[in-house]
Amino acid sequence: MEKNILEIKNITKNYGDLRALDDFGFSINRGEIIGLLGPNGAGKTSLISILSGTLKDFSGSVSFLGEDLFKNRKLKNNMGIVPQDMAFYDDLNAIDNLMFWGGLYDISKKKLKERAIDLLKIVQLNDRAKEPIKNFSGGMKRRLNIAIGLIHEPELILLDEPTVGIDVQAKVSILEIIKDLGKNGISVIFTTHQLSEVEEICSRIIIMDKGKKLVEGTLKELIDIVGEKEIVEIKGEFSIKSMNDLKKNIEFAEVIAIKENYISLSFKNTDKIPDMMEMFFKNKIKVSDLKIKSPNLETVFLKFTGRSIRD
């Protein structure tokens, strides 16, 4: 059996002068859950469109189950998606939706029906199976969204922000479902803005921005790259320009990101923080807030992208 279920290599996609994907690539193993992180405009949507076959004219290759994904349409029977949108029919009930979406794949009607009933149990919607979806809560819709993505028993599933806009309880339940997928040998590509979710369920993390893969590794590996340094976030009244001018004189810490009225720095030795503050005051820079954080995925993200994931 091949090790990589999906291998994306050197994908570059341009929209006129804009480069949406820039020599982008990664691979995923069977049963692996990887987190694909990137701020808005990172290139995730383009990547999803390429995988769905709706985006052409790109360079690079996508190999799925050892074959070129775009040369064998049947391969799509083994791939699923849970889109960010509630992409199903509100007027129909859960069973009707599962039967329709499942029907698009090469799967027998009998098996489809059995699978639909099983899935509704898994996502705890079996008692609401025949109720129009328009009566469902946000969490219920999210769970159904996942069930539809799994109806044809894919070997790889792409989950695009499956926990957006739902309460904590529903989120926990969805994360449990995703963890179980991995345990059952299904590979998962998981995109989210909730870094804590990635920390919780993903065995490997890829950070991308502006179409490029910036870094890849386990959570520990990524934190190690940042180093065991304390992260200091400072808010105040200063411009990016003034901070860039000042940056040259900061020797005791590494600047991670500078934004308007914001700077984050990585200190090996926090004893040096007062020195920095003194320098700020000398330069008449007003500081309103200072936070010291231990390195985590958020600081890793900030280091590599220079911005927060929500920007």
Partner 1 sequence: MKRIILILKNDIKRRLKSPLSILILLIIPVMMTGIIGTVFSPSENKMPKIRVLITDNDKELGAKVFIEAFKSPQVDMFQLELVEENKGRELISNNRGSALIIIPSGFSKNLLKKNKTNLLLIKNPSEQFMPNIVEEFSKTLSILLSGAIQVFEIDETLINSIKGTNMDYKSLITMLPMLKKNKTNAEKFKKLMTYLNPPLLEIKKEITGKKTNNTGINIFSYILPGISIMFLLFIIEIFIRDILSEREDGKLQRMMFAPLRACEYITARILSGWIMGILTYLIIVLIGKLIFNIDWGNYFFLFILIIITCFWIASFFALLNAFFKNRNQAGAFVAPIIMIFSAFGGSIIQTNQLPEAVRWVSALTLNHWFIIGANKIRSNIFPTTPILILLISGIILYIIASKALNKRIII
Burial per residue of 124-136, b for 16 or more beta-carbon CB atoms within 10 angstroms, e otherwise:
ebeebbeeebeeb
Helix (H, G, I), strand (E, B) or coil at 164: coil
Q: Which is nearer to partner 1, 109 or 293 (CB)?
A: 109
310: left (phi over 0), alpha (psi -120 to 50) or beta: alpha
Shortest CB 292 distance to partner 1, Å: 41
CB nearer to partner 1: give 18 or 104: 104
CB of 284 to partner 1, least distance (A): 50
Interface ranges with partner 1 (CB under 8 A): 48-49, 51-57, 73-77, 79-81, 83-89, 91-92, 96, 100-101, 103-106, 132, 148, 152
Does residue 142 contact residue 166 with C-beta atoms inside 8 Å? yes
Nearest-angstrom CA–CA distance, 311 and 308: 5
Q: Minimum distance from CB of 231 to partner 1 (Å)? A: 36
Please say which residue, 87 or 292, places its beta carbon nearer to partner 1: 87
Contact 240, 278 (CB under 8 A): no
Nearest CB to partner 1, comparing residues 21 and 243: 21
Question: Please, which residue, 91 or 251, has the CB nearer to partner 1?
Answer: 91
Q: List the 59-64 sheet strands across, edge first.
A: 18-29, 4-15, 59-64, 67-68
- Report in angstroms how near the CB of residue 155 gets to partner 1 at its nearest: 13
DSSP state of 307: S
Please, what is the minimum distance in Å from the beta carbon of residue 61 to partner 1? 18
